Amino acid sequence: MNEYDSLKISQLLASDYELTQDKEEADLIIVNTCSIREKAEHKVYSLLGHLKKLKAKRPELILAVGGCVAQQEKENILRRTPFVEIVFGPHSICELPDVLKSLETRKSICMTELKDDFVIPFVPFATKDDSDAPLKAFVTIMQGCDNFCAYCVVPHVRGREVSRPSDLILEEVRDLVSKGVKDITLLGQNVNSYGLKQKTSKNFAQLLREVGAVPGLERLRFTTSHPKDLGMDTIDCFRDIPCLCEHLHLPLQSGSDNVLKRMNRRYSKAQYLEKIAALRDAVPEISITTDLIVGFPGETDEDFEQTLSVVRQVEYEQAFAFKYSPRPFTRAKDFSDQVPDDVKSERLTVLLSTLNEVAMKRHSRLVGKEQEALIEGVSKADPNELTARTRGNHVINLRGSRDLIGTFRKVRITSASYHSLRGEISLNP
């Protein structure tokens, strides 16, 4: 979501600024922040500490802080780091161009109003030339969240759930496809409740079908789904829409009914597993990924065992696992039965090794098989290698000419590890 917002910000400012990789030559530095866990928030202040030195050298440099930490901390940021001139929340990105123009007349500004009807505007994707467009892009379909999971800061910093009108979404998808984007991910905190608040709107499955029909779109994905709202109509889309990739990110958070209840997730372990069974029934080869939290207040060893048991049952292809981090404004931060950090760390270690084990098991099943792969670029780890992605969202490392970047190829999987695959481009395309 933040990556998408950063791109929007750069597009909104494209008539006055161009991007640079060199902070020494920047006229404006915008730090777009995340406050989902405390660690992300700490990083902001340590980065601002570094940027203070740049500002001392070049007082004309403008420093801005945007995103969820800005929304959470508001004027505190201006007090704590007075060399920052602009603080703006997720709903204020559109005001940025005007504020930058009028900055000379004031010293600093804090824009953190949350608006009930905020909609991200459509801004055509700015490319310098045709080879400039990315292969993959996000398109936001909704903002904010109404779920109020007990651990989560998002509803407090991104405001109430608002769905973007479908014509705006389709316009953005068509624009991206016309500029060469091949793989689009529809984004929202809870995409499955798309349109439900506005009775006149399409629902999520209808929207998926319309986006899936955009000519030239090769790959479509979406994230994040809430298990309580994932319906059969969406599951059917995996069978019916050719470009919809066989991958679903379905956050479990915990496998214990006690913990799920206290998290306010509003599904049980059995209901979650029923959805997984329906998905695998409709699309046997679907790859399923998840998010997990260990050490939520009150989580016992037995609760944690339940999480491990679901992980072994579902066999996730990949997962993001986090230690619970108390967040401002949330209910769980005031729960009296917080779990000590050493217990959280121990559980995280056990969970990560179980996740690696099941991912290895699933990835091994692909060895010897052919997969359709989009060759995405040069490997970061080895400049002599390319990296590609399957429809199931697995990363494949392979040898091949750089001319192949941006093309789809059949790749035979030769070996697997828990985080990626190795493959060879098949001779018969």
Q: Is 226 helix (H, G, I), strand (E, B) or coil?
A: coil
Work out the angle between the directed axes of helices 232-240 and 269-282 (0-180°, nearest 10).
20
Residue 327 touches which of ligand SF4, ligand 5AD, none (Cβ within 5-8 Å per kind): ligand 5AD
Q: How far is the CB of 317 from ligand SF4 (least distance, A)?
A: 20
- Min. distance of Cβ 378 from ligand 5AD in angstroms? 29
Q: By CB under 6 A, is residue 160 in contact with ligand 5AD?
A: no
Of 12-20, 276-284, 304-312, 321-329, the window that binds ligand 5AD (rule: CB under 6 A) is 321-329
Report if residue 194 touches ligand 5AD, rule: CB under 6 A.
no
Question: What are residue 374's DSSP bridge partners?
Answer: 389, 408
SS3 content of the chain, % helix, strand, coil (to 5): 40, 20, 40
Which of 30, 31, 245, 293 touches ligand 5AD by CB under 6 A? 293
Q: Which residue has the tokens 């690696």?
A: 356
- Residue 325 binds ligand 5AD, judged by CB under 6 A: yes
Do the beta carbons of residue 52 and residue 45 sit within 8 Å? no
Tokens 């098949």: give the residue. Answer: 426
- Choosing from 151, 272, 316, 418, the residue that interacts with ligand 5AD (CB under 6 A) is 151
- φ, ψ for residue 206 (rounded to 5)? -65, -45
* Crossing angle for the helix pair 204-212 and 166-178, to the nearest 10 degrees: 30
- Could you count the other beta carbons within 10 Å of the beta carbon of residue 135? 18
- How many C-beta atoms surround the C-beta of residue 242 within 10 A? 10
CA nearest to 400, candidates 50, 410, 279, 126:
410
182/249 with CB nearer ligand SF4 = 249
Of 291 and 346, the one with the shorter C-beta distance to ligand 5AD is 291
267 or 324, CB closer to ligand 5AD?
324
CA distance 317 to 324: 22
Q: Which is nearer to ligand SF4, 70 or 145 (CB)?
A: 145
Q: Which amino acid is at 215?
A: P
Q: Where are the beta strands (DSSP E) in 40-79?
A: 62-67
Q: How far is the CB of 147 from ligand SF4 (least distance, A)?
A: 4
Among 122, 138, 316, 322, binds ligand 5AD (CB under 6 A): 322
81 versus 192: smaller Cβ distance to ligand SF4: 192
Q: How far is the CB of 32 from ligand 5AD (least distance, A)?
A: 16
SS3 222: strand
Based on CB atoms, which residue is closest to ligand SF4, 145 or 173? 145
Tokens read off for 364: 């091994």
37 binds, among ligand SF4, ligand 5AD, none (CB under 5 to 8 A by kind): ligand 5AD
Which of the residues 11 through 40 are near ligand 5AD (CB under 6 A)?
36-37
Listed ranges 177-185, 235-243, 317-325, 373-381: which one lies at the site for ligand 5AD (CB under 6 A):
317-325
Residue choice 96, 152, 173, 388 for contact with ligand 5AD (CB under 6 A): 152
Residue among 256 and 390 whose Cβ is closer to ligand SF4: 256
Scan for tokens 């919809």, then name that residue: 244
* Closer Cβ to ligand 5AD, 253 or 387, answer by number: 253
Choose the contact partner of 322 out of ligand SF4, ligand 5AD, none; CB within 5 to 8 A by kind: ligand 5AD
Identify which range of 74-82, 319-327, 361-369, 409-417 contacts ligand 5AD by CB under 6 A: 319-327
H or E element in which residue 31 lies:
strand 28-33
Residue 255 or 392 with smaller CB distance to ligand SF4: 255
Contact assessment for residue 245 and residue 221, using Cβ atoms and an 8 Å cutoff = yes
243 token code pair: 């470009």
Does position 327 bind ligand 5AD by CB under 6 A? Answer: yes
Amino acid at 294: V
Q: Which residues make up the interface to ligand SF4 (CB under 6 A)?
A: 145, 147-149, 152, 154-155, 189-190, 226
Strand pairing report for 318-323 and 287-294: parallel
**How many chain residues are in contact with ligand 5AD, going by CB under 6 A?**
12
Q: How many CA atoms lie within 13 A of 322 on its CB side?
A: 19
* Min dist. Cβ of residue 227 to ligand SF4 (A): 10
The 8-class DSSP code of residue 279 comes to H
Which DSSP string do the residues of 337-401 spell out, in sequence order? -PPPHHHHHHHHHHHHHHHHHHHHHHHHTTTT-EEEEEEEEE-SS-TTSEEEEETT--EEEE---
- Identity of the residue, 249 or 363, whose beta carbon is nearer to ligand SF4 in the bound complex: 249
Q: Which residue is nearest to ligand 5AD (CB)?
A: 291
**Contact status: 251 vs ligand 5AD (CB under 6 A):** yes
**Residue ranges in contact with ligand 5AD by CB under 6 A:** 36-37, 151-152, 251, 253, 291, 293, 322, 324-325, 327
